[in-house]
Amino acid sequence: MSIRILKTGSVATLLLAGAFSMAAWAVHSAQDGPAAPAPGDDIVILDFKPGMDDLMTMIVQPRHIKMYYAAQEQNWLLARFQLNELRAAFMRVAQTIPEFGIFPVEPSLEAAIYPALDEMDAAILTNDSAEFERAYVTLTASCNACHEAMGFSFLVMKVPEGDVPADYIDQDFRSQGAQ
Ligand code: HEC
């Protein structure tokens, strides 16, 4: 089975390839039911390079949310884990996108968010909800400061309200271990 990796040189080519394979799949499945890949069929792996917006949505925003709900349950172990995930996510952002427009990303993160992450770490170690809340407000303001500095002042993060979002109802934010 050969694997073909398409480079993102031409978006049009990719879209065309996608439309074509969807059409081929529709015809095939209409005739024969669900299609199983035959030996020798090409698997097309698109060369997906996530953008800043993708990384924010996929690896940054969820940790910002989950850390909050862990702390609401005073689950400081999970809150600290999520904070480390958030820190690692920002490092991966810098590795994946060294420059965003005119902005070098690593120095921007150092200026905009790393101090607030350190503050958050100290706050979580106190196991104190009020300390956490204060640091979370600072952290969230830092997210917004960077959005504003990079020309996205309409992207406004806030302290979550209400119950755990539906996307995360399968995660137990109270539990300290498997039950
Ligand atoms: C280094 C600067 C920087 C920091 C720090 C930063 N962001 Fe962002 N964020 C951006 C930029 C720039 C965009 C817009 C990217 C684009 O349009 O490709 C963005 C976009 C977003 C989006 C919108 C994505 C979408 O497609 O809807 C969310 C959500 C987001 N950031 C969450 C956060 C959170 C939460 C934090 C803090 C924990 C944070 N960001 C910290 C620069 C930053």
Task: Please provide residue 63's backbone torsions phi and psi, each rounded to the nearest 5 degrees.
Answer: -70, -35
Is there a single domain that holds both residue 38 and residue 91?
Answer: no
Tell me, what's the pLDDT at 21? 46
d(Cα 120, Cα 125) in Å, to the nearest integer?
Answer: 9
Q: Assess contact for 99 and 57: CB atoms under 8 A.
A: no
Asked if residue 91 has pLDDT above 60, the reply is yes
Q: Which residue has the higher pLDDT, 140 or 47?
A: 140
Specify whether 35 is located in the same domain as 98.
no
Residue 163 lies in a domain: yes
Ligand 1, residue 105: give the atom nearest the CA: 1
Same domain, 150 and 64: yes
Tell me how far apart the alpha carbons of residues 68 and 74 are, in angstroms, rounded to a whole number.
Answer: 10
pLDDT band, residue 176 (cuts 50/70/90): confident
Domain count, the chain: 2
Check whether 139 has a pLDDT greater than 60: yes
Specify the residue with its C-alpha closest to ligand 1, atom 24: 53
Rounded to an integer, the average pLDDT of 124-147 is 98
Pocket test for ligand 1, best of 53, 54, 87, 106 (most atoms within 8 A of CB): 53
The residues near 112 (Cβ < 8 Å, ≥ 6 apart) are 142, 145, 146, 149
> Does some domain include residue 178?
no
Q: Are residues 69 and 23 in the same domain?
A: no
Please check whether residue 175 lies inside any domain of the structure: no
**Residue 28 shares a structural domain with residue 84:** no
**Is residue 176 included in any domain, yes or no?**
no
The residue whose CB lies within 8 Å of the most ligand 1 atoms, and thus the one to mutate among 49, 58, 147, 154, is 147
Same domain, 98 and 11: no
